[in-house]
Amino acid sequence: MYILMKIILVAVPSYLLGSIPSSFIMGKIIRGIDLREHGSGNLGAANTFRVLGTKAAFPVLLFDIGKGFIAVRFFSTLGGAGFMYALLAAFVVVLGHNYSVFVRFSGGKGVGTTTGAFAALSPAAVLICFGLWLVILFVFRIVSVASMAAAVALPVAISLTNRFLDSGTHRSIIYLSIAVALLVMYKHRSNIRRLKEGKETRIF
């Protein structure tokens, strides 16, 4: 019962923080535009950029990254010193972003929130993936391709930093990163379909 209470203490605030729909707030409340009815229909920074532009998308992205970082760095401590609570907070905050209770369990695709969560867990690996994201975005000019590539590369990046940089990150982070990468790919299934049809939007 005691362990269950600690799990709840970590999971509930992490989920609620992740569920705060920054893009919905920016679009519907501030700009009067429901992003679910425009662009890709996704409640994330990429669709915010597509519909509302950089000035609206940048704070949305920062907030989404921040809530992932805060959940892992601070909310995980509500369960105590156990490392597994940090992993729990990371996974649940991403779930909250993707399936927000505040917008009928719709949400984003978890890339920004995953970035923030893993920046707290394995910052060197996140830097590697961010570099890869930039290169692929520059080459292909498609945000979804860059995001999926970075997500898939995350477990590899964590393994490399553990081996060559002796980063000391817990091996279980690799398993969590695989689960999150699969979730990111699942949330991008509509993008994958548009890529096959040659209809995915390019930027620049």
pLDDT tens, 20-36?
999 999 998 888 899 99
Q: What is the pTM of this model?
A: 0.92
Q: Is the pLDDT of residue 15 over 80?
A: yes
Name the band, by pLDDT with cuts 50, 70 and 90, for residue 113: very high
Per-residue pLDDT tens over the stretch 146-160 = 999 999 999 999 999
Percentage of residues in the chain having pLDDT higher than 90: 77
Domain ranges in the chain? 2-197
H or E element that contains 138: helix 123-140
- Over pLDDT 70: what percentage of the chain? 97
Query: Does the pLDDT at position 118 exceed 80?
Result: yes
Tokens 């995915």: give the residue.
200
CA–CA dist 49, 132 (Å, integer): 20
C-alpha 171: how far from chain center: 20
